[in-house]
Structure 1
Amino acid sequence: MNLKERSKQLKIDIPAIFIALREKETPVIAKILAGVTIAYALSPIDLIPDFVPVLGYLDDVIILPLLITLTVRLIPADKFAECRLMAEGLWADGKPKKWYLALPIVAIWVIVIYSIIRIIWF
């Protein structure tokens, strides 16, 4: 699988992991790792900031695919295949149909910005 195909697969795997997180058949350890993977994928905070030359982006290129691969291996294959099919339906029109799933991330950003403003002004 070349890099372009792998990046397209990641676009489906991340939502599929989120869907698998909510399934009863997913083992507990896979749910914990799935939560970490989703949090890392959506988090604006990286282990190595992106402004650090080369290393900042290598962090995203190496750590995120490793987390995704490990999470996928812990989820039963048939269940993850089902979750991938559901995830493909999310991107049918070019954007997710369930946009409200982004609200927790927006809420985190609002809290962070509010906290920074509060620290600066008070």
Structure 2
Amino acid sequence: MPAWLKRFAREMKLQLRVLYLASRDPRTPLVAKLVLLAIVAYALSPIDLIPDFIPVLGYLDDLILLPLGIYLAAKLVPPELWRELQARAETEPLSLPKSRRGAAFVIVCWLAVLALVGYWLRRCFWTPIKRPLASQEDPGLELSGGF
């Protein structure tokens, strides 16, 4: 792995820790908190907008959306607060809370999205096969009781 890519990954990890700390800080404006929570949730979610197993495109959404989200969040958080939280993120280890209800909520949301997409795909692309009723078939093809 190239050195610049390792540096980029370390920097992204640090920025995500800063975002998490900013989302929990009472001095962070509400709009910034909402954006921060969306970015952190997307980054930590095991489900991506475009699945990672799709070549090139799978990682492209992460490489574009996460840096843009971090940039937007950094602009929404007051600069002095951002610097303070960045120093704290560099020195303190981060322990994320574990919530079964939160995980269940995320799973239910993704299942609802998948159900809606499946419903939409069925409505758009599935056409039932129309078969004639038995009474409309040729009367000469009646079964005899020979068997």
State the TM-score bracket (shorter-chain normalisation): 0.7 to 0.9
CA distance in 2, matches of 1:18, 1:41: 11
Structure of higher RCO (CA pairs closer than 8 Å, 6+ residues apart):
1
Which one has the bigger helix percentage? 1
Deviation at 1:27, TM superposition (A): 1.1
- Residue 108 of structure 1 is matched in structure 2 by 103
Deviation at 1:4, TM superposition (A): 4.3
Question: How many corresponding residue pairs?
Answer: 104
TM-score, normalised relative to structure 1: 0.73
Deviations 1:59-95 (A, max 9, x none): 111111111111111101100111111111234xxxx
Deviation at 1:8, TM superposition (A): 2.2
- Structure with bigger gyration radius: 2
Gaps in structure 2 of 5+ consecutive residues: 112-147
- Residue 58 of structure 1 is matched in structure 2 by 60
Q: Percent identity?
A: 40
1:16 aligns with 2:33: no
Deviation at 1:7, TM superposition (A): 2.7
RMSD of aligned Cα (Å) = 2.3
- Residue 40 of structure 2 is matched in structure 1 by 38
User: Secondary structure of 1:17's match?
Assistant: helix
1:75 partner letter: V
- Residue 84 of structure 1 is matched in structure 2 by 86
